[in-house]
Structure formats: structure tokens, C-alpha cells
Amino acid sequence: MSPTAPLRSPEPGRPAPPAGQDVVIVGAGVAGTSVFVQLVRALSRQAGAAARTVRSITVVDPRPVGWGLAFGDDDPLLLCNSAAEVNSLLAEDHADFVGYLREHGWNGSPRDCVPRARMAAYCRDRHTGARAAATALGIVVRQVRADAESVGARTGGRHRVRLSTGQRLTADAVVICTGVRRPRVPEGFAGLTAHPRYLDSPYPSERLRRQTRPRSRVLVLGTRQSAIDAALLLCRDGHRTVMTSPSGRLPSVRLSLGAPPRDFPSVERIARLDPADPLLEEKVLRGAVEAVRLLSRRPLRRQTSTAPDPVQRLREETALVDAGVCHWPGVVVPLLEAAIALAPALPAPRRHALMARFAWFTGYYATAMTVVNARRLLAHFATGALRLAHPYPRSVVRDGDAWRVEWPEPAGTPDRFDRFDHFDHIVNGTGFHQPTLHWSPDGKALRLKGAADGAGAVEHLEADLRVRRRPGARPERVWVAGVGTHVRVPFANHLRNVARQARQVAEEIAGG
């Protein structure tokens, strides 16, 4: 169906389109697909009702279903950082992704991390099945290959979604599931990002391959997940690579981010803590430590490395995982979910202070790397193809077609670097800004891409995940699911939480 085509009458023998809502889902990544699949399931349970609540569902995304930034890359080197067992699109069926993989010949463990392209294929498969189910119900489904730019405030009970093509869609309900898009600008690089040999992120990997000259010297900015992806891709393709960041720290190592192996009463209590308790932070930490003790008598300090050198620490922590004595990862998912449950009860300043207090946990443990990638990094460190520099560069300037870097003294960990160095390319691996919605200055439109002068950011969501023009105002029939809910909860990209949010939104829309 053409993106501008009107809704057509059904073919003979098919059920007539039901009276009901026109729903627009902005985003066809994991969150958008989860909303779509769970909405169709909720509507299917209504089969036989006198009047259904949805007559059409339009998905808006210029990319194919599942092919978002997070998972839409077919390079087999790029792995999901969470285990297959926690990557289901369905809130009530945690084993759905594992079941899909088994159906397609996979024989790994549910705790394994699989290539991200498998997650994209899973989204596409489940979307196709849900689309067929929706069509059987007489619901018209289509995808419009464009970006959504704004959602007009409700007029006459309906919203108008403005697209990058100039087209406008009319909707009774809108679900915003856009993920991260805008790369961060690293420290010292304001004004330098337009250089043709600066890449603002490692994704898509095909662009990284296409825009780097063979056997180049490449500086990767960052030492966390995006930077690790960049380093692995570059080293595999024959480039000499240096990673650097202000902290100079690599994440910790674990098998994967998997499902909780048991119940943790001390962690479950975190969600019920008094938001005004002055000892809140200490009680959160105590709950985490008690949970780790339930998994092993081995002290936490003996499940991680304290080596000052980051490469040596990487080597030691990889050995701990391989020896089967690294138990702390078993409490990470419960801790993330306890924080997600607790955060909405906290005033924004207290929530931000709590996250700042535990930034060390987020940066080192919550976003730890899979042991598969740790082994890959160690292999590149061993050959000299990869090095780690710390402190961060004092200055970086363009030098013709290349980059001239000045290192502080002393520079280099574990190796020393000359004070001045040259690189053919720089790749930003510092990550992305969280997506933020903004009301237009006149309050008549919700902007999805950037803010105009005088626009007000949407800084709060209620438990219903619906957008309001101001606190206490009547909610719009616009929901947010996925990463965009970071204004309400931390770790908004945690897939189990995304699936729960998607189910909540789907059931509310299905209920009319």
C-alpha cells in the first residue's frame, strides 16, 4: 500500500474494517515492534466482540522493521550485550526469543549473547506474524518509510503526525518508540565533527569500513560499549587502533546480562524504600551486597580484579569468568529492575543524585562486556593491533587529511606514547544522547527531532506513560515506550522493561 493511500474496503470474503481507532507507532525497532505485536495480541483476544477498538495501525520508520540503531547491523562481530533469555518482545513469555532461535537452528545456551542481526530478524519475523493476524481481524496495517517530525496536539479528539516527506497522518492514538540517534560530541571536539575523517559513531559498521582507508591508524574516543565495538571492527579489518577516554577504564567482564538465577529479598526491598530516607543510597548498596552473598560465599572483591592497569584487569576478570567464579552478574538484572521500580517515587533531583552516586556501578558493572568480546580485545592487545591510552588527549587539531594529537605527560597506559601523535581517522565511541521530546513554543505540537527556540522539554511522564503539556494537565493520547521513558525511569533500554511498557501501552489502547 502506498504511504499516502486511503484505507481501502476489504476484499470480498474478508471481515469489514472495524470501527475504531487509527493508531500510529513511531519507530520500528525493538520497542515499536513490541508494541505492535502485543497490541495485535490484545486485539486478538477481543475477537468476537461487537465492536473492536482499532481499525488501522501505521508504523512510521524509514528503516525496515527491526533494523534500528541498536540491532540493525548484519556484521556478525556485533553481539547483543544481554543474554538471549532476556531479549523477548513479549512481556509474558520470556522464552520467545530463545524459541525463535531454536526454530531457526540455533543450539546455544539461553544465557549466550547472539549477533544483533538475529534480534533484528526476530523482530521482523514476529512483526510479519502479527501483521497477518491483524489482517485476519480486518485491521489495516502499513508501514510508512519516513521519519516522524512532530505530533500535533489533540484537536477534535485526534492527532496529526507530521512526517519528513511532508505527509500528515491522522491518528487517534500515537506511540513514540524512537531510540537513540544523536551521537555525543566528545570533550575537545566541538567544531571538529564535520571533518571527513571523523566518524560520529561506529554504526553502521558498513560505513566504518567504507570511510576508513586500508591499514590506517585510528583513534577511538571512549572505552565503553560503543568504543569496544569500534575497536573490534577496526582491528579485525587490519587497522592499528588506540582507545582513549578521560577515565581510561574498560567495563568489567561477565558471561552475559542474564535472567535472575533466584529471588533476592534484599533487592526486592529496594523498590519499597522510603524516597525521603537519608540513608537511601546506603540501603541500596547494602541490598546489592547481600544479594551477591546469596549467590556465593566468595567475597565480591575476589570476583573482580583490582589491578590498576586496565588491560591486566581485563585479563584477570576474563580468567575469573572462565573459571566459573564470577557470580555478581546474577544480581544485575534484579538491581536494574529495582531501580526502575524505585525511581518514579523519587523527586527528579533525588533520582539524579542517586544515579550519580552509583555511576560507578552503571559504567563498570551494569554495562559490563560479554566475555566473548573480552577475549577478542585481549587478542588484539596481545598482537599490538590495539592499545589503550590514558590520560585523554590534551588537544586534537586537524593536520591536512589527518589528525594531530597532543598527549599529556605522562601519557599511555599500559604503553607510553610520544607527546605528539598522528592518526588517519578518529571514531567517536562515546555513545548517544537520550531522546527528548519538546513542546513547540505555542504548545500545539510535540517535536520529536530537536527543539525550536522557546520549546519546552518533556521532562516528566506519569505511570500511564502518556504525554502531558504540563504537570497535572489532561493526558494526550500519545504514549512513550522504550528509551524515551528515561525521563521517568533509569535503564530505560533494559529490554525486559521495554517489553513490559509495550504491553501496558498496548493493553490501554486495545481497551479503547
How many angstroms separate the CA atoms of 184 and 497, rounded? 25
How many angstroms separate the CA atoms of 36 and 65, rounded? 11
Asked if the model's pLDDT at residue 416 lies above 70, the reply is no
Question: What pLDDT does 409 receive?
Answer: 73
CB atoms within 10 A of CB 238: 11
Q: pLDDT band at 4, cuts 50/70/90?
A: very low
Contact call for residues 425 and 200 (beta carbons, < 8 A): no
Q: What percentage of the chain has pLDDT greater than the value 90?
A: 81
Identify which of 111, 148, 152, 197 has the alpha carbon closest to the alpha carbon of residue 28.
148
Q: What is the mean pLDDT of residues 450-460?
A: 77
pTM as predicted: 0.92
Average pLDDT, the chain: 91
Question: 401, exposed or middle or buried, with CB in 10 Å at 0-12, 13-18, 19+?
Answer: exposed
Question: 473, exposed or middle or buried, with CB in 10 Å at 0-12, 13-18, 19+?
Answer: exposed
Q: What is the mean pLDDT of residues 456-466?
A: 93
pLDDT in tens, 125-178: 999 999 999 999 999 999 999 999 999 977 778 999 999 999 999 999 999 999
Identify which of 307, 310, 326, 342 has the alpha carbon closest to the alpha carbon of residue 257.
326
pLDDT in tens, 237-293: 999 999 999 999 999 999 999 999 999 999 999 999 999 999 999 999 999 999 999
Q: pLDDT band at 410, cuts 50/70/90?
A: low
Question: What pLDDT does 183 receive?
Answer: 95
Q: What percentage of the chain has pLDDT greater than the value 70?
A: 93
How many angstroms separate the CA atoms of 218 and 197, rounded? 10
Contact call for residues 111 and 83 (beta carbons, < 8 A): yes
404-441 burial, b if ≥16 CB within 10 A, otherwise e?
ebebeeebbbeeebeeebebbbbbbbbbbeebbbbbbe
CA 312 to chain centre: 29
Write the CB contacts of 247 (distance below 8 Å, at least 6 apart in sequence). 223, 363, 390
What are the angstrom distances between the C-alpha of 372 and each of 79, 115, 142, 257, 377?
Answer: 9, 11, 39, 13, 9
Identify which of 110, 107, 97, 80 has the alpha carbon closest to the alpha carbon of residue 37.
97
Asked if the model's pLDDT at residue 217 lies above 80, the reply is yes
Write the CB contacts of 152 (distance below 8 Å, at least 6 apart in sequence). 159, 160, 161, 162, 444, 445, 446
Identify which of 159, 22, 163 has the alpha carbon closest to the alpha carbon of residue 475.
159
Asked if the model's pLDDT at residue 384 lies above 50, the reply is yes
- The C-alpha cell of 433 is what? 544522547
Contact call for residues 466 and 505 (beta carbons, < 8 A): no
Conformational region of residue 200, where left means phi above 0, alpha means psi within -120 to 50, and beta covers everything else? alpha
Question: Phi first, then psi: what are they for 340, rounded to 5°?
Answer: -65, -40
pLDDT in tens, 54-85: 999 999 999 999 988 778 899 999 999 999 99
